[in-house]
Amino acid sequence: MSSQFIRGKGNLYDRLWQRREAEEARARAQAEKEAALALSQPAPTLPVLPERNAMTIAGLHLLVPRSARLSDVWVTLQVGEHSVIVRAGCRSVAQTLTLDQALDSYLAEAREQHAELTLVRQQPSLLAGHPALMLDYLTGQHEARRHCRTVLTLIPPSDSREALSFSLSTFIDPAQRPLADWLIDFDAMLVAVTTA
């Protein structure tokens, strides 16, 4: 067998890696196509009840008393051998605040926490049928680098309740190859949001 034939074919590990890359690219393209289709169709707007908060962990449902108000929830998830963080945040805002202004406020707070912040992408989105903005950004440098994806929406005031800004975020180490599909899974979680 000639060495030219061997060089042209590539080794087994290269071919397996290329196949995996192609499969991941197809999965990302399919998820983006489904997200675009979901955004193009009017989604039913799910009712938002800021006073109703609960967590389900390992099948156990923990209902938060209505007298307690959700502010920030940080959850660490184990994805394979790697950790990812999911955060839910809820803040009181002025009734006149726009979604763009809420995003500017979110970014200002993020810049206070992270000296190095690089904006990657911002695009319109939906969360539970409500208009939202999706934001991707990088923080830190080298080994401490993290990728954040956040979806932010406004909850209008009703029944004497104040207006709220609500965000769902995830933070991952982008250098960890096994986490390559996590953002796709996170987007699927956002699409599957339901009311209690």
Q: Are residues 171 and 112 in the same domain?
A: yes
* Same domain, residue pair 92 and 28: no
- Write out the DSSP string of the chain: --HHHHHHH--HHHHHHHHHHHHHHHHHHHHHHHHHHHHHSPPPPPP--TT-EEEEETTEEEEEPTTS---EEEEEEEETTEEEEEEEEEEE--TT--HHHHHHHHHHHHHHH-S-EEEEEEEEEEETTEEEEEEEEEES-GGG-EEEEEEEEEE---TTPPPEEEEEEEEE-TT-GGGTTHHHHHHHHHHT----
Instruction: Answer yes or no: do 91 and 21 share one domain.
Output: no
Find the domain containing 31 and state its range: 1-41
Tens digits of residue pLDDT in 148-179: 999 999 888 777 678 888 999 999 988 888 88
pLDDT at 5 over 50: no
Q: Both 6 and 88 in a single domain? A: no
Q: Mind listing the pLDDT tens digit for each residue in 85-122?
A: 999 998 888 888 899 999 999 999 999 888 788 899 99
Domain membership flag for residue 82: yes
Say if residue 33 is in the same domain as residue 90: no
